Amino acid sequence: MPTELDYTFRAMGSDVRFLIGDRLLGSAPPALETADRERAFVWEFSDRLSRFEADSELSALNRDSRSVVPSSQLLRAAVAAGVWAARLSEGLVDPTLVRALERSGYDHSLDGTEPASLQDALADAPPRRPARPNPAARWRQIEVDDEARTIARPPGLMIDTGGTGKGLCADAVAFRLRGYSRFVVDCGGDIAVGGVGAQLEPYEIDVQHPLTLDTIGSIRLVRGGVATSGLNVRIWQCADGAYAHHLLDPSTGSPVWSGLIAATAVGDSALEAETLSKMALLLGPAGARRVLAQHGGVIVHDTGDSEIVGPVACGPGARPAALRA
């Protein structure tokens, strides 16, 4: 049984966990030294891209009155990931909903805040309907130019990188861990897996029920990503008594009530899995089955019933890691 470093810390409003196996090359640093380095990277990633910090690079971009703004490689990568997810989802995962998020009450970090009752919110929610893209598709007005090192967008168009940030961060750290035999990077449930050792002993990632918090299934993963989008973590009650959460219908700018309360997706990367899981939840049961058909996943209905969709691999020989997507 191979040994692994198990390393956890707090960042991006969630727990971040690394599992790092043996070094493949003698020149690679010890796993603990690498984990410390990657923790610093995650903290910096979070600080520079936070829309809740006035001095972050993302906040500076959103304040800038110029149409074309010089930008760092990290900011360009984060904005490009948001545009990529919008393109993949045909506008459902939209990085230009900052003002709608703020109107809904998500204008400050909810880290450390007790979520409202999801069951109460479901009882109070409007009739269920799938989300739709905003016909204006303002995300198409964003242009990232790596050669010129700039981001172009109409002044006043605010960008949120939070919708894809954890997946992008997990993939970035996973790439930096390629000198190790096996590894898992878990950024608050957006999980990247890799290494030759994982091909011999795959990881088994538990899927948690958003209402009971029980394990409802496990996904066997050799490499790639898995992610869950759910309504139970970032949900709050507004001053008028209505409930809101962070997953918005781009066509209305309001929280979506699609008939699903959680969706877990598998992808070729954590960023892809994160995007697919959001698409699935936004579209509701029928749309989720289409979205998850290729790579597989799990959906949880408003009723609490769970459903496995597509080619989800789980079986004997997988190595439990007590990970939760």
Mean pLDDT of 110-125: 90
Cβ-based neighbours of 155, under 8 Å, separated by 6 or more: 64, 65, 66, 67
Order of strands, sheet of 319-324, starting from the edge strand that comes earlier in the sequence: 215-221, 203-208, 319-324
Q: What's the pLDDT tens digit per position in 277-286? A: 999 999 999 9
Question: Domains of the chain: which residue ranges?
Answer: 5-324
Task: Write down the pTM of the prediction.
Answer: 0.93
Q: What's the pLDDT tens digit per position in 31-56? A: 999 999 999 999 999 999 999 999 99
pLDDT for the residue 317: 38
DSSP secondary structure, 9-74, as one string: EEETTEEEEEEE--BSSTTSPPHHHHHHHHHHHHHHHHHHH-TT-TTSHHHHHHH--SSEEE--HH
Return the half-sphere exposure (C-beta side, CA atoms, 13 A cut-off) of residue 39: 17
Judging by DSSP bridges, how do beta strands 203-208 and 215-221 pair with one another? antiparallel
Return the half-sphere exposure (C-beta side, CA atoms, 13 A cut-off) of residue 31: 17
Return the half-sphere exposure (C-beta side, CA atoms, 13 A cut-off) of residue 187: 30
Give phi and psi for 102, each to the nearest 5.
-65, -40
pLDDT for the residue 2: 57
Helix (H, G, I), strand (E, B) or coil at 314: coil
- CA distance linking residue 121 with residue 119, whole number of Å: 5
pLDDT exceeds cutoff 80 at 230: yes
pLDDT for the residue 217: 85
Q: What's the pLDDT tens digit per position in 74-94? A: 999 999 999 999 999 999 999
Q: Which CATH superfamily is domain 5-324 in?
A: ApbE-like domains (3.10.520.10)
pLDDT for the residue 322: 43
pLDDT band at 321 (very low <50, low <70, confident <90, very high): very low
- CA distance linking residue 254 with residue 133, whole number of Å: 12
